[in-house]
Amino acid sequence: MHASKRLGVAGAALAAFSVGAPTTAAAQDIADHTYTPEAIQEGSRVYVTECALCHASTGDGVDGVDLRRGLFSNARSDDDLRRIITSGVGGSRMPAIDLRAAELDGVVAYIRAGFDPSGVAVRVGDPARGQEIFDGAGRCTRCHRVNGIGGRRFAPDLSAIGVARAPAALQRTILDPTSALQPINRPVRIVTRDGEAIRGRRLNEDTHTVQIVDSQERLRSLVKADLAEYEVRETASMPTPDLTPDQVADLIGYLLTLRGLP
Amino acid sequence: MKTLKLTALLAVIGVTAPGGLTAQVTYERILNAADEPESWLTYNGTYSSQRYSRLTQITRDNVDDLQLGWMLPNQVFGAWQSNPIVFDGVMYITQRPNDVMAVDPVTGRVFWRYRHTNAENALVCCGANNRGVAVLGDKVFMGTLDAHLIALDRISGTPLWKVEVGDVNLAYSITMAPLAVKDKIMVGVGGGEFGIRGYVAAYDAETGEEAWRFYTIPGPGEPGHETWAGDDWQYGGAPIWITGSFDPALNLVYWGVGNPGPDWNAAQRPGDNLYSDAVVALDADTGELVWYFQFTPNDGYDYDSVQVPILADMDWNGEQRKLMLWANRNGYFYVLDREDGEFLSGTPFVTVNWSSGLDANGRPIPTPQPEDMPTYPGNQGGTNWYPPSFSPRTELFYFVAWEDYATIYRPEESEYVPGRAFLGGGFDVLTPVPGAPGVGIGRTNPINNWTDAVGHGVVMAMDPRTGEPRWRFDQFDVSESGMLTTATDLLFTGSRDGYLHALDARTGELLWKVNLGGQIVMAPVTYMVDGRQYVSVISGHTLVTFGLRD
């Protein structure tokens, strides 16, 4: 059996690993330049002192709201966020908070950066246009399925991706799929001792077995001792869609609306 | 000579109590525990802590015939790290947070359960863990999360005495199994994340009266105090939360000491910070320090040195020596002379980049990594508290290592507030993509979504003479399981992914496995009742016991 790669010495591992959320040139292009890294860092400080008591450091301290993942009760645009922060929400526990303009921009930037002080603020566009791109120019439905419609289950189902991923992670996935590929989701290539060749996506693994969904959309659990070859690939199967920065922003806006069953 | 005879006689009486009369667990029985392999008398099996059993019924040839004997599910959720004690037809096991149960080791049925209710403000860093009891005479002893030591009648479970070991309001706690030596019960305190000043103390087994106390941070005027600046020593951590070892011939008890506090900001507490991250050798009768060896001076990585000290007598460069074998959380494997603490060798067993090596005295040469760069091994260490094993037959040291595991430290200034967390910043586990799950303490998800990309476990059979593993057994997930070896050259160990493995201790060949489903965060034990050998292990929330098919 050809065991999959192991990370070697520290130095070799470093090259492949992300330390401190690097921003690719593409991500810089797409980012909303209203916000600077300084603004995001300023926002992280303001958040801790003004927001975290109720919303928690994780952003999900208030029922129905997950700030880190962009799930809001009343807001969609950045201006909505500014208005709610400065005016509060009548009839709720959200008070009006008196912030300087730079502090206010910072908090919005921090939220849009997915609570990553070293990240980039992500521009979130129009969900309706984003859905058109998802179904059309982005060719996303060729592989991905949403609420039972679209591609094959070999690719991750996106029905609740707006809950599972923060805006920054969605942007990273669209611009450079491999850089955002979660290790557990890595594609696998397997040849059994019986000679069967299998391609699939990893769902789970332990010392002696691996669980996958194969290219025929079958859930399969395989015993490693029965495999002649087992390769875990670090390159995403997903191609980088050919989209303009505006289209990417719209697509992110749409993906954030995907929250599964209520 | 007379003493020796008496010792032997007592041991015989202890083992062969006639007619179902309950024998006492005398000090002599624990002293000679290796000769009584049908019992498991102390946390680490024997005072030398080798976790090696002379039982021979289960062999490499018949291990395939192991079958389920019984299961005892825990009614309390959370990692179950406890270590069973077994003798005279009874198993004593603790469950979260501080229950003691007396269990029939043949059927798994419970004779009695004692439940200690902890103070509401009891505080621990890493779960409401308890790792088991000590036994001596007619009593069972347990340390509690609210830092008390309790003696129970071993037949009825009735509490006989209870003493305060530490102040719960200052976040002192006890999670370790106490150690019974002679007429004393020794126990250390946890709280290294809360600014305690650590110590190990000994109590009279009959009365609970404190006999001695050794502070792991020297006070003003004591040697070593100069390794702390200002008032840092008063809240410098250095807890003791894993059971130590005892050499009766040298009359020394050995304790591994935990991290200094605040954990991750070494610059805030300049100096070597003795005796944090050290092994201390104490006079068993007085608690006086005889020698120490510090593994990680001025530690900023949480490299607790609470590992079980394994005592082995071996040939070393042509000379028979009393050795101490130690795979440390800091990634180095050490051999020390346990008579005087002399450093004999030290070699990295995983990738290490916080230090470029050890000098002739075993002191690490520090190579702190730049900001935002990963440190190897990561915060949970190259290994940790998981009890290792040493087989005098193979002369190999068995333990679990975490490979390819790193963290990025973010030190910050911390203010000490009594009874509150005192951490000095934080850390992130190095992951291949931003936001991917990192490996943490314990398993909370049936899906391993962190994967081996952030670290994985290896059972290593270390040759102490070379510092090189003779063989290795790779696991996909990391492991917090300890080791058990037997005189039939079997090695039993678990894994976080829920397997109980039986390996050939000589070669590492996998001989038998069973998927028990839940994480194994303790070391398997073995014992014998009515001519049948059993192996007990805790997986997830279930204590599982195996024996050979009839």
**ipTM (interface pTM):** 0.86
Q: How confident is the model at residue A7 (pLDDT cuts 50, 70, 90)?
A: very low
**Which whole number is the average pLDDT over B385-405?**
98
Residue B271 has pLDDT above 70, yes or no: yes
- Best A170, A201, A207 member to test B by mutation, with max B CBs in 10 Å, is A207
pLDDT at position B9, please?
43
What is the distance between the alpha carbons of residues B341 and B362, in angstroms, rounded to a whole number?
Answer: 11
Residues 334-373 of B with CB under 8 A from A: 351, 353, 372-373
Please state, in angstroms and as integers, the Cα–Cα distance from residue A200 to each residue in A177, A189, A230, A236, B269, following that order: 17, 7, 11, 12, 52
Structure-token pair, residue B33: 């525990």
Q: Residue B376 is nearest to which of A10, A16, A18, comparing CB atoms?
A: A10
Which of A26-40, A87-101, B212-226, B232-246 bottoms out in mean pLDDT, i.e. has the lowest?
A26-40
pLDDT at position A69, please?
72
Higher pLDDT, B7 or B92: B92
Is B433 close to A208, i.e. CB distance below 8 A?
A: no
Strands (E), B2-131: 52-53, 66-73, 85-87, 90-95, 99-103, 110-115
pLDDT at position B444, please?
75
pLDDT at position A125, please?
87
| Residue pair B516/B502 in contact by the 8 Å Cβ criterion | no
Q: Residue A183 is nearest to which of B436, B475, B498, comparing CB atoms?
A: B436
Q: What percent of chain A is predicted at pLDDT more than 90?
A: 45
Residue A145 has pLDDT above 80, yes or no: yes
pLDDT at position A9, please?
32
pLDDT at position A30, please?
55
Q: Residue A206 is nearest to which of B351, B430, B448, comparing CB atoms?
A: B448
Is B436 close to A182, i.e. CB distance below 8 A?
A: yes
- Best B430, B431, B433, B473 member to test A by mutation, with max A CBs in 10 Å, is B433
Is B497 close to A207, i.e. CB distance below 8 A?
A: yes
| Residue pair B172/B147 in contact by the 8 Å Cβ criterion | yes
Single-letter amino acid code for the residue at B539 = S
Structure-token pair, residue B509: 């060949």
Is B434 close to A234, i.e. CB distance below 8 A?
A: no
Average pLDDT, chain B: 94
pLDDT tens figures, B115-131:
999 999 998 888 899 99
Which of A34-43, B250-259, B390-399 bottoms out in mean pLDDT, i.e. has the lowest?
A34-43
Q: How many CB atoms lie within 10 A of CB A185?
A: 18
Which of A54-58, B85-89, B111-115, B178-182 bottoms out in mean pLDDT, i.e. has the lowest?
A54-58
Gap from A177 CA to chain B (nearest CA, Å):
11
pLDDT at position B11, please?
42
Which of A10-19, B141-150, B194-203 bottoms out in mean pLDDT, i.e. has the lowest?
A10-19
pLDDT at position B245, please?
98
Pairing of strands B52-53, B483-486: parallel
Helix ranges (H only) for A56-209 are: 78-87, 101-112, 127-135, 161-164, 167-175, 177-180
What is the distance between the alpha carbons of residues A163 and A153, in angstroms, rounded to a whole number?
Answer: 19
Residue B41 has pLDDT above 90, yes or no: yes
Domain annotation for chain A: domains and CATH numbers: 25-112 (1.10.760.10), 127-181+239-256 (1.10.760.10), 183-232 (2.30.30.100)
Q: Is B153 annotated as catalytic?
A: no
pLDDT tens figures, B483-539:
999 999 999 999 999 999 999 999 999 999 999 999 999 999 999 999 999 999 999
Gap from B515 CA to chain A (nearest CA, Å):
10
Gap from A151 CA to chain B (nearest CA, Å):
24
**B446 contact residues in A (CB cutoff 8 A):** 204
Handedness of CA B357, B361, B362, B368 (dihedral sign): negative
Residue A124 has pLDDT above 90, yes or no: no
Single-letter amino acid code for the residue at B417 = V
**B453 contact residues in A (CB cutoff 8 A):** 7, 183
Residues 201-260 of A with CB under 8 A from B: 203-208, 234
Structure-token pair, residue B540: 């997830």
Q: Residue B372 is nearest to which of A19, A205, A207, comparing CB atoms?
A: A19
Average pLDDT, chain A: 83
Q: Residue A205 is nearest to which of B436, B476, B495, comparing CB atoms?
A: B476
pLDDT at position A29, please?
52
Residue A110 has pLDDT above 50, yes or no: yes
Is B434 close to A208, i.e. CB distance below 8 A?
A: no
**Which whole number is the average pLDDT over B41-58?**
98
| Residue pair B461/B402 in contact by the 8 Å Cβ criterion | no
Q: How confident is the model at residue B213 (pLDDT cuts 50, 70, 90)?
A: very high
Residues 122-181 of A with CB under 8 A from B: 166, 168-169, 172, 179-181
| Cβ–Cβ contact B497 with A under 8 A | yes
**Which whole number is the average pLDDT over B15-40?**
79
Residue A3 has pLDDT above 50, yes or no: no
Q: How confident is the model at residue B393 (pLDDT cuts 50, 70, 90)?
A: very high
Q: DSSP letter at B169?
A: G
Q: Residue A184 is nearest to which of B408, B446, B451, comparing CB atoms?
A: B451
Q: What percent of chain B is predicted at pLDDT more than 70?
A: 96
| Cβ–Cβ contact A9 with B under 8 A | yes
- Best A1, A5, A7 member to test B by mutation, with max B CBs in 10 Å, is A7
H or E element, residue B126:
none
Selection from A2, A213, A241, A250 nearest residue A137 by Cα: A241
**A19 contact residues in B (CB cutoff 8 A):** 372-374, 408, 430
**A18 contact residues in B (CB cutoff 8 A):** 431-434
pLDDT at position A34, please?
61
Nearest CA in chain A to B447: A204
Residue A8 has pLDDT above 50, yes or no: no
Structure-token pair, residue B444: 């909370």
Which of A146-150, A211-215, B22-26 bottoms out in mean pLDDT, i.e. has the lowest?
B22-26
Beta carbons within 8 Å of B91's beta carbon, 6+ residues apart: B84, B85, B102, B103, B104, B105, B527, B536
**A168 contact residues in B (CB cutoff 8 A):** 434
Nearest CA in chain A to B499: A207
**Which whole number is the average pLDDT over B32-50?**
98
pLDDT at position A15, please?
32
Gap from B531 CA to chain A (nearest CA, Å):
34
Q: How confident is the model at residue A218 (pLDDT cuts 50, 70, 90)?
A: very high
Beta carbons within 8 Å of B489's beta carbon, 6+ residues apart: B60, B391, B393, B394, B504, B505, B506
pLDDT at position A64, please?
77
**B377 contact residues in A (CB cutoff 8 A):** none
Nearest CA in chain A to B354: A10
Cα end-to-end distance, chain B, whole Å = 45
Gap from B78 CA to chain A (nearest CA, Å):
21
Bond from prior residue into B97 cis (ω within 30 degrees of 0): yes
Please state, in angstroms and as integers, the Cα–Cα distance from residue A199 to each residue in A157, A210, B120, B450, following that order: 18, 13, 53, 21
Gap from A62 CA to chain B (nearest CA, Å):
22
H or E element, residue B544:
strand B542-548
Selection from B494, B478, B394, B175 nearest residue B304 by Cα: B175
Gap from A172 CA to chain B (nearest CA, Å):
9
Q: Residue A182 is nearest to which of B433, B446, B452, comparing CB atoms?
A: B433
Is A205 close to B451, i.e. CB distance below 8 A?
A: yes
Single-letter amino acid code for the residue at B185 = I
Torsion of CA B503, B244, B429, B417, to 10 degrees: 160
pLDDT at position A93, please?
77
Q: Residue B432 is nearest to which of A16, A114, A116, comparing CB atoms?
A: A16
Is B404 close to A7, i.e. CB distance below 8 A?
A: yes
pLDDT tens figures, A82-101:
999 998 887 777 888 888 88
| Cβ–Cβ contact B7 with A under 8 A | no
Beta carbons within 8 Å of A254's beta carbon, 6+ residues apart: A127, A128, A129, A130, A131, A133, A134
**A166 contact residues in B (CB cutoff 8 A):** 435
Selection from B384, B375, B355, B378 nearest residue B455 by Cα: B378
Is A206 close to B497, i.e. CB distance below 8 A?
A: yes
Structure-token pair, residue B383: 């290994």
Gap from B451 CA to chain A (nearest CA, Å):
6
Write down the catalytic residue from B146, B277, B299, B302: B302
pLDDT at position B22, please?
57
**A6 contact residues in B (CB cutoff 8 A):** 404, 452
Residue A111 has pLDDT above 60, yes or no: yes
Structure-token pair, residue B478: 């990391």
pLDDT tens figures, B418-462:
998 899 988 888 988 887 888 877 777 889 999 999 999 999 999
pLDDT at position A32, please?
52
Beta carbons within 8 Å of A243's beta carbon, 6+ residues apart: A133, A137, A138, A174, A251
Q: Which of A161-170, A174-183, B205-214 has the highest mean pLDDT?
A: B205-214
What is the distance between the alpha carbons of residues B522 and B479, in angstroms, rounded to a whole number?
Answer: 10
Gap from A197 CA to chain B (nearest CA, Å):
23
Q: Residue A19 is nearest to which of B374, B404, B437, comparing CB atoms?
A: B374
